[in-house]
Amino acid sequence: VIQKTMHKLDAMMMTNVRTAAINADCILIVIDACRVPEKVDDVMEGGASDVEEKPPTLLVLNKKDLIKPGEISKRIEWYETFGGADHVLPTSAKY
């Protein structure tokens, strides 16, 4: 997860994460399905979103069991339409 930096150590670690994302063959982003949807580029904050040939992106919506059944399909549709990921996969550790 790429989060906003809080300390110098966080900033250094996030720089490494972004560099790895730029050089990756593919990107796996795991997002809490309960959170408000956001674009992949916003999540990456200047990582692979800045390169011309962005690697394929798989967005995993975790904790789908905590969302109402009708809501998860709306989240999937939103991410497929506006999210910027190549594929969206809902999942849950419960089942």
Per the prediction, the chain carries an average pLDDT of 78
Please choose, from the candidates 20, 26, 41, 33, the residue with its C-alpha nearest in 3D space to the C-alpha of residue 60. 33
List, in order, residues 6 or more apart from 90 with CB less than 8 Å away: 33, 60, 61, 64, 72, 75, 76
User: What percent of the chain has pLDDT above 70?
Assistant: 78
User: What is residue 88's predicted lDDT score, i.e. its pLDDT?
Assistant: 92
User: What is residue 22's predicted lDDT score, i.e. its pLDDT?
Assistant: 76
User: What is residue 62's predicted lDDT score, i.e. its pLDDT?
Assistant: 92
66 to 20, 25, 39, 63, 93: CA distances (angstroms) = 31, 31, 21, 6, 11
Any idea where the domains of the chain sit in the sequence?
A: 8-90
Please choose, from the candidates 71, 67, 75, the residue with its C-alpha nearest in 3D space to the C-alpha of residue 94. 67
Q: What is the pTM of this model?
A: 0.67
